[in-house]
Amino acid sequence: MSRHSGRSAQKERTRKAILDGARTLLTEGKPVTVAAAAEKHNISKATAYRYFSDPALLVAEAGLDISVASYDEIVADVPSVREKLKAISLYFFDLAIDNEAGFRQFVGMTLAAWNPDGTQSPVRRGARRILMYERALASDDLGLTGPEQEKLIHALSTATGTEAMIALLDVANVNHATARETVSEIADALLDRYLGRET
């Protein structure tokens, strides 16, 4: 495993630990604060606030995170990096569709927490897909430079999940099946662009 993918995996573990702490507090019927959730796994308050700045968003994401599969589960038995990247894209779109109400509420909360005067750090949502794309790309040398990998990850990230669900269902006014097919086609087009067409 490369140093980059090692850092990504550590970030994913830290985020999951904070979310687990929040779920534990909820189960115990105790107030959920960012510091208290982090303390459950001996994570410092400063570290925790780099992941979650708002306890309401932490609670919302903790509820949604219960149903998120691990990277290894998503890419199990998927042989190539290209297919892993596409599997991740389709997984996060399916997750949004299957949990549509919760994800719409969560997006609404993140938008409401935005501060236009810039005095508060922007809310950074889960970014689980980014960590998974990074792990997939680190699993094989595809000949992409670091900046090319970043561009591919950014492009794939915008074309799946809740963002794609809202654009396709609300703006394009298509049904779920057509929306999923579109996400699949966009992923193929991006992968063709960066990795070359499949032969």
Cα→Cα distances 45→17, 26, 33, 48, 65, Å: 13, 19, 10, 5, 21
DSSP string, 112-161: HT--TTS-SPPPP---HHHHHHHHHHHTS--S--HHHHHHHHHHHHHTSH
Distance CA 1, CA 6 (A): 6
| Pick from 49-58, 78-87, 121-130, 178-187: least confident | 121-130
Res 120 pLDDT > 70: no
- pLDDT band for position 121 (cuts 50, 70, 90): low
Three-state DSSP class for residue 1: coil
Res 172 pLDDT > 90: yes
Residue linked to tokens 């400063």:
46
Res 41 pLDDT > 70: yes
- pLDDT band for position 10 (cuts 50, 70, 90): confident
**147 against 127, higher pLDDT:** 147
Cβ-based neighbour number of residue 91 at 10 Å: 20
pLDDT mean over 139-151: 91
Cα end-to-end span (Å), the chain: 28
Both structure tokens of 186: 């966009």
* pTM of the entire predicted model: 0.75
pLDDT mean over 128-152: 92
pLDDT mean over 18-44: 88
- pLDDT band for position 180 (cuts 50, 70, 90): very high
DSSP string, 102-115: HHHHHHHHHHHT--
